[in-house]
Amino acid sequence: MKKFVFILALILISISFSAKAQWWYDFSDNTTGQDIYYKITSNNPPTVAVGLSMQVTNVVTVPQTVPYNGVVYTVTAIDDTAFVSTNITSVILPSTIDSIGFAAFAFCNSLASIIINAVTPPSVETWAFHNVDTTILITVPCGSIPLYQTAPNWNNFSSYQNSAIVINFIDSIVQGDTYNLYGFNESVAGTYTQNLQTPQGCDSTVILTLSVYTLTTPSNLITQSNQDNISLSWEGNGERYHIMRNDVLLASVTSNSFTDYDIESGTNYCYSIRSFAGNVETELSSPSCITFLPLNDVVNQEFSSKLYPNPAHNKTTLELTGVGNDAKVILCDMLGKEIKNYNLKANQTKLDIDLNNITKGIYYIRIINNDRSSTKKLIVK
């Protein structure tokens, strides 16, 4: 009964004499698992203080921010008598707390530990920790123990420790490689932990989540002869690629495409690609060979072609003679960019080319039949 009267007196004193004693609340929030009540202390910037929350028990985590009516408020204070005489055993306070009010934790007889993430000790009002055991463990950020040991009211506590610094890394390696950063030496997918210590004596925990993937040999290598270059593209999951041309290293790239400008008209080039990741490499891809033929060249033309109408509007017809095998027909713009392509069957003599949705301008029709090719100029009007 005496304790109840004393607590009631504390609350009445806080109401009567403390300018900050607004123990009534504006809203509550239970995202941390328990109902905590908040009083709005500022709208610009939006801040709140923890108000009278006497239903909490056991471990209480005060969040750094709380949402209310579409606004995110920063929690900056523990108000007067906020947790007075509650059965909390541990409290975790965010780095944003800068003040703890009158009798905020008074008569919390079960309180055994406080974890506070504020580097600078929050100001503590009289009797904030009245009747709390002064030998309980206080965990503070690395390097902050001397500040708390000399701060008013914090200096009543005798047992301090530095908080552990937890660092999470998510990384990956290729099959056959080894991850050897931060003291790890791992080659199998999984989660690994390293416990380290800083020069200040703070424990650090490094948690590594490692994935391992298989490096695949590049595939679907496509080569295309353009106005003044040969363009290459391929599929692969490497970190970098070596491009081989006629069995000689041409370039090293990190993307899945390359443009070769060091070429001569009428010359045949064979390209292949090798993938690299870490210290692992793949076999060379299957080669892709092409003879560089600028759009205005006609090389080894043993078949004839005719294009009509030309100029054309919605459609043009390509008429061919002398094509004994399957062939490919490519519609390109002035820069050599492929717009459309068609496959011709052996001895097919006509091909209708749809020009709907093709912008007016000059284009080229390339017919490729094995190592033979022919280019026709097309005007779309």
Backbone phi, psi, residue 10, to 5° = -60, -45
The 10 Å Cβ neighbour count of residue 227 is 14
Same domain, yes or no: 254 and 347: no
**Listed range (23-37, 168-182, 332-346) with the worst mean pLDDT:** 332-346
224/364 same-domain check? no
DSSP assigned state of 154: G
Domain boundary among 270, 291, 312: 291
Look at residue 363 and tell me whether its pLDDT is greater than 80.
yes
Residue 299 inside a domain? The answer is no
Is 60 exceeded by the pLDDT of residue 345?
yes
> Do 64 and 94 contact (CB within 8 A), yes or no?
yes
- Do residues 47 and 118 share a domain? yes
Per the CB < 8 A criterion, the answer to whether 321 and 306 are in contact is no
What is the pLDDT confidence band of residue 298, given thresholds at 50, 70 and 90? very low
The edge-to-edge listing of strands for the beta sheet with 372-380 is: 338-344, 327-332, 361-369, 372-380
Same domain, 329 and 279: no
Residues 203 and 150 both lie in one domain:
no
User: Could you tell me where the DSSP H helices lie in the chain?
Assistant: 2-17, 145-150
Q: Kindly state whether residue 321 falls inside one of the protein's structural domains.
A: yes
| Within a domain: 297 | no
CATH number, residue 118 = 3.80.10.10
The helix/strand/coil state of 7 is helix
Please report whether residue 57 resides in a domain: yes
Rg over alpha carbons for the chain, rounded to the nearest Å, is: 38
Identify the top-confidence range among 57-66, 196-205, 224-233: 57-66
Same domain, 15 and 103: yes
Which tens digits make up the pLDDT trace of 211-264?
A: 888 899 999 999 988 877 899 999 999 999 999 999 999 999 999 999 988 888
Q: Which of 189, 213, 237 is the last residue of a domain?
A: 213
Looking at residue 295, its pLDDT comes to 55
Last residue of a domain, one of 176, 195, 213: 213
- Look up the CATH number of the domain holding residue 230: 2.60.40.10
- Confidence at 299, pLDDT banded by 50, 70, 90: very low
Q: Is residue 298 part of a domain?
A: no
- CB of 87 closer than 8 Å to CB of 57: yes
CA distance 45 to 40: 11
Nearest to 120 by CA among 102, 98, 100, 91: 98
% pLDDT > 90, the chain = 56
- 85, 79, 76: which is closest to 130 by C-alpha? 85
The yes-or-no verdict on residue 15 having pLDDT over 50 is no
**Alpha carbon distance 227, 328 (integer Å):** 18
Span 142-190, pLDDT tens digits: 889 999 999 999 999 999 998 877 788 888 888 888 999 888 999 999 9
- Based on the fold, state whether residues 282 and 373 are members of the same structural domain: no
For residues 10 and 152, membership in a common domain is answered with yes
| Higher-scoring residue by pLDDT: 309, 347 | 309
Of the candidates 264, 256, 271, 273, the residue with the CA atom closest to the CA atom of residue 229 = 264
Please check whether residues 132 and 196 belong to one and the same domain: no
User: What is the span of the domain harbouring residue 236?
Assistant: 219-291
**Burial letters for 273-283: b for 16+ Cβ neighbours within 10 Å, e otherwise?**
bbbbbeebbbe
296 domain residue, yes or no: no
Q: How far apart are the C-alpha atoms of 206 and 327, rounded to whole Å?
A: 60
**How are beta strands 219-225 and 230-235 bridged, if at all?**
antiparallel
Question: In terms of domains, do 186 and 235 share one?
Answer: no
For residue 21, what pLDDT band results from cuts at 50, 70 and 90?
very low
Q: What is the number of structural domains in the chain?
A: 4
Say if 40 falls within a structural domain: yes
Q: Are 249 and 329 part of one and the same domain?
A: no
User: Is residue 23 helix, strand or coil?
Assistant: coil
Range in 275-284, 296-305, 322-331 with the lowest mean pLDDT: 296-305
Q: What angle do CA 316, 321, 324 make, to 5 degrees?
A: 120
- The answer on 192 and 150 residing in a single domain is no
Q: Is residue 327 part of a domain?
A: yes
